[in-house]
Amino acid sequence: MKVCALATTCPGCSLWGIAYNEQLAQKTKRLKDLFTTHLDSIEVKTHSAGEHSMRERFDFIIKDRKIGLIDKDRNFIPIRECLQLTPKLQEAFDLLSQADFNIRIGTIRLRASSRNQIKKYGLWLDFANNDIKNLLIEKNILKKLSENFFIEVGQKKKCLDESTFEAEQIKLKDPKMQPWFHTYNYKTHTPIDLNCAVSSFTQPSAKTAKLMTDIIASWLQNTELKVWEFGCGIGQYTFSLLSSGHKVEVFENDEFALACVKETAIHNHLLEKLTIHAGDFQRPQNLEMNEKPDVVLVNPPKSGLKNFTQNVIAANTKKIIYVSCYPESLRTDSEIFLQHNYKITNAHVVDQFPQTNHFEVVMLFERVDI
């Protein structure tokens, strides 16, 4: 197995040097240890798309004209090559490394479109306001980068107005939705492009995302199920469900992500089967339910479901599918499900983050009727 030259210093990866099969075994054991006896009778299946070179998006730090990462002791580690990146994203990294950002410190996100739908690379600059202002006034760095990158700026996802490149100062304009990512239609076995911003949250790789979508699709093969989805983001699971004939109600607090979902639904003629709820559903609130769902699919942040757990229980659904990047919060939420007559019937580890301790879990809970 190829080993990164920065394996002993870079904070991005911690398992270089451990055989990959052993990495997978360690992650499976960690999940089983968390759930003690609840997984004793279940075969926990492990899925991988590769040992490295899969990431189509990655966040880096720019500090003193260099690109790198910050370690646990707050030391900056410069990087010239990252084995986690796809070859295409490494090309973007090499191009960006030529830019001379005269800032003290800032965060960037690099992205390559998952199906090569967009010719340019994506670049999100999350810098201090004054640093952004100086770049807009200086112009030359951003103009040069714009030859190869579609550039977004700041938390509001603003993009450069190229019509102002010859003005005294470059102006910003409203965010732009573009198909940076994709999911799958399991009826036609064709991709569905997903609208989003460079700075939008997506899974790190379309290959690993498909592993999870495949698992969920295998559990929901009946037509026209009523599905609730908590934490839909830009719709990775939403559109595989809709295109399979299911009706989906989504619950999401990111308004831009929901605008992207709506745009994608319109483009694919799926809006009729989609209901959108906007709000912070981790906070206590009563949901009006016209129909109880057959399935609840939850994909919460690291903090878990919090108060939405009570809405899931109240729905009295037959199946709960839980996707988690943080098994500890999954374990906390699962305790409530187990106390309300649900049992774990399937569990999968998806190694989205090889060479690190992180992994994704896709777990199926089914109601036991007493």
> Active-site positions?
325
Phi-psi region of 152 (alpha: psi -120 to 50; beta: other; left: phi over 0): beta
Neighbour tally for 130: CB within 10 Å: 9
- What residues does 321 pair with on adjacent strands? 297, 364
Please measure the distance between the N-terminal and C-terminal CA atoms of the chain and give it in whole angstroms.
51
Kindly state the tokens that stand for 117.
């739908």
Structural contact between residues 339 and 365, judged by C-beta atoms closer than 8 angstroms: no
Q: Which of the 8 DSSP states describes residue 288? A: P
Query: What is the C-alpha radius of gyration for the chain, rounded to an integer number of angstroms?
Result: 22
Burial class (CB in 10 A: 0-12, 13-18, 19+), 254: middle
Distances (CA, A) of 300 to 38, 146, 251, 304: 21, 35, 11, 5
Count CB neighbours of 125 within 10 A.
Answer: 24
Measure Cα distances from 253 to 53, 233, 280 in Å.
Answer: 32, 9, 5
